[in-house]
């Protein structure tokens, strides 16, 4: 279990606790302001990206200290965790509304509107985010990320997530002043700043999933489809046996490789069952 499970889930998976999505947590004024700023200020992504670039140029020891401090701050405010599709289904089973919004990372990195991000709420009709966009909160917001808020049924949202999974994107939950969760994203290295921060700069922005993927060599046909889509570079190919090999120390447990494998050679294990990965978050 990651540290959020201990702090915010009483030893269970914190992102499966409905209380961490509750409207009660939204009575916190600082949290509301943070959400408003998040959806209205394109400059925050630009500033974060340029800070990461500046810190990356520092000497290694200083850089690592700065990254640790930055990760500690982010854990209090806006931090993520990778969650496989079966647990996204569980989350969609207890939230009362799901809305799709434009991805601010892709808006910045690709200069294009990509609708890969979802707001979830225990309240109907988009909850607080819906109220903000409609002006019902008294502080209407607008802008590239809040425009075109699409309300979706659970079934429509799950179909969309299955589609994102087929495109190789991993699913991540995000806090808005921890432990409150109201965002679920679909991330890849190409467009997602949080994944890039991890893979290019070793800056922690999210926890790994509570799972790790393993290959059953007897079932693997050696097609290599899985390795092409792993966003974390965790899958190698062993030419001596013509099989895929997953490095548990690099695996984030997203399950995308499992979906890609038509031979059903990949399964997800609980992280605690894999000694090399059990303490890695
Ligand atoms: S997709 Fe499946 S069959 Fe193909 S290399 Fe990966 S594990 Fe093996
Ligand atoms: S090996 Fe599979 S489960 Fe692990 S990070 Fe890569 S795609 Fe995700």
pLDDT band at 147 (very low <50, low <70, confident <90, very high): low
> How many C-beta atoms surround the C-beta of residue 167 within 10 A?
12
Among 247, 265, 268, name the best residue to mutate to test ligand 1's pocket (greatest count of ligand atoms within 8 A of Cβ).
265
Query: Which residue is it, tokens 């702090």?
Result: 7
The pair of three-digit structure tokens given for residue 31, joined into one six-digit string: 């949290």
Domain assignment present for residue 279? The answer is no
- Rounded CA-CA distance 65/81 in Å is 22
More confident site: 3 or 47: 3
Same domain, yes or no, for 167 and 111? yes
Same domain, yes or no, for 222 and 200? no
pLDDT band at 169 (very low <50, low <70, confident <90, very high): very high
- Ligand 2 pocket, residue 265 CB under 6 Å: no
Strand order from edge to edge, sheet including 80-82: 150-152, 97-101, 117-121, 181-187, 170-175, 80-82, 206-207
Domain boundary among 207, 231, 251: 207
Q: What is the pLDDT of residue 273?
A: 96
List, for residues 95-124, the tens digit of each pLDDT value: 999 999 888 888 888 888 889 999 999 998
Q: What is the CA radius of gyration of the chain?
A: 19
Same domain, yes or no, for 125 and 228? no
Same domain, yes or no, for 179 and 224? no
Q: What is the pLDDT of residue 139?
A: 67
List, for residues 178-224, the tens digit of each pLDDT value: 999 999 999 999 999 999 999 988 899 999 999 999 999 999 999 99
pLDDT band at 36 (very low <50, low <70, confident <90, very high): confident
Smallest CA separation from ligand 1 atom 6, residue: 226
Domain that holds residue 199: 3-207
Please name the residue ranges forming H helices in 15-119. 29-40, 43-56, 60-77, 85-94, 104-109
Domain assignment present for residue 112? The answer is yes
**Nearest bound ligand to the CA of residue 254:** 2
Domain assignment present for residue 79? The answer is yes
Domain assignment present for residue 61? The answer is yes
Same domain, yes or no, for 61 and 194? yes
Same domain, yes or no, for 50 and 162? yes
- Ligand 2 pocket, residue 214 CB under 6 Å: no
- Rounded CA-CA distance 157/107 in Å is 21
More confident site: 130 or 34: 34
Same domain, yes or no, for 70 and 158? yes
Domain boundary among 181, 207, 233: 207
Domain assignment present for residue 280? The answer is no
Same domain, yes or no, for 109 and 125? yes
In the predicted structure, residue 46 carries a pLDDT above the cut 80: no
Ligand 2 atom closest to residue 211's alpha carbon, by position in its atom list:
3
The pair of three-digit structure tokens given for residue 262, joined into one six-digit string: 């038509």
- Rounded CA-CA distance 164/187 in Å is 9
Same domain, yes or no, for 154 and 59? yes
DSSP state, 267? E
Same domain, yes or no, for 70 and 91? yes
Instruction: Give the list of residues 6+ apart from residue 86 with CB closer than 8 angstroms, or none.
Output: 255
- Rounded CA-CA distance 36/132 in Å is 8
Can you give the three-state secondary structure of 6-29, one letter per residue?
Answer: HHHCCCCCHHHCHHHHCCHHHHCH
- Give the pocket of ligand 1 (CB within 6 Å): 215, 220-226, 244, 260-261, 263, 265-266
Ligand 2 atom closest to residue 266's alpha carbon, by position in its atom list:
2
Question: CATH code at 258?
Answer: 3.30.70.20
Number of domains in the chain: 2
Mean pLDDT of the chain: 91
- Rounded CA-CA distance 263/223 in Å is 9
List, for residues 54-106, the tens digit of each pLDDT value: 888 888 889 889 889 989 999 999 999 999 999 999 999 999 999 998 888 88
Measure CA of the first residue to CA of the last residue in the chain; give whole Å. Answer: 9
243 forms beta bridges with 238
pLDDT band at 245 (very low <50, low <70, confident <90, very high): very high
Q: What is the pLDDT of residue 249?
A: 96
Among 234, 250, 266, name the best residue to mutate to test ligand 2's pocket (greatest count of ligand atoms within 8 A of Cβ).
234
Share of the chain above pLDDT 70, in %: 95
List, for residues 267-280, the tens digit of each pLDDT value: 999 999 999 999 89
Same domain, yes or no, for 140 and 261? no
Domain assignment present for residue 161? The answer is yes
Same domain, yes or no, for 113 and 130? yes
Domain assignment present for residue 191? The answer is yes
- Tell me the CA–centroid distance for residue 281 and ligand 1, in Å: 25
In the predicted structure, residue 37 carries a pLDDT above the cut 90: no
Residue 16 · residue 4 · CB < 8 Å: no
Domain assignment present for residue 142? The answer is yes
- Rounded CA-CA distance 177/26 in Å is 10
- Tell me the CA–centroid distance for residue 140 and ligand 2, in Å: 40
Domain boundary among 175, 207, 239: 207
Among 85, 224, 257, name the best residue to mutate to test ligand 2's pocket (greatest count of ligand atoms within 8 A of Cβ).
257
């Amino acid at each position: 279990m990651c540290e959020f499970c201990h702090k915010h889930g009483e030893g269970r998976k914190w992102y499966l606790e409905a209380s961490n999505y509750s409207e009660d947590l939204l009575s916190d004024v600082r949290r509301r302001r943070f959400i408003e700023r998040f959806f209205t200020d394109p400059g925050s992504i630009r500033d974060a990206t340029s800070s990461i670039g500046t810190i990356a140029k520092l000497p290694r020891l200083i850089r690592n200290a700065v990254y640790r401090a930055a990760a500690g701050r982010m854990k209090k405010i806006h931090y993520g965790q990778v969650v496989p599709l079966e647990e996204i289904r569980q989350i969609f089973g207890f939230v009362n509304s799901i809305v799709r919004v434009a991805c601010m990372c892709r808006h910045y990195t690709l200069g294009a509107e990509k609708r890969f991000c979802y707001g979830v709420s225990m309240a109907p009709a988009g909850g607080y985010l819906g109220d903000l966009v409609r002006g019902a909160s008294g502080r209407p917001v607008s802008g590239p990320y809040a425009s075109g808020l699409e309300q979706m049924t659970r079934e429509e949202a799950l179909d969309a997530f299955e589609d994102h999974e087929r495109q190789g994107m991993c699913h991540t939950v995000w806090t808005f002043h921890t432990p409150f969760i109201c965002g679920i994203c679909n991330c890849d290295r190409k467009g997602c700043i949080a994944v890039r921060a991890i893979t290019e700069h070793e800056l922690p922005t999210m926890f790994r999933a509570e799972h790790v993927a393993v290959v059953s060599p007897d079932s693997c046909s050696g097609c290599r489809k899985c390795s092409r889509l792993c966003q974390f570079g965790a899958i190698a190919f062993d030419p001596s046996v013509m099989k895929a090999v997953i490095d548990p120390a690099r695996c984030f447990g997203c399950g995308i490789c499992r979906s890609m494998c038509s031979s059903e050679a990949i399964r997800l294990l609980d992280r605690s069952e894999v000694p090399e990965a059990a303490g890695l978050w």
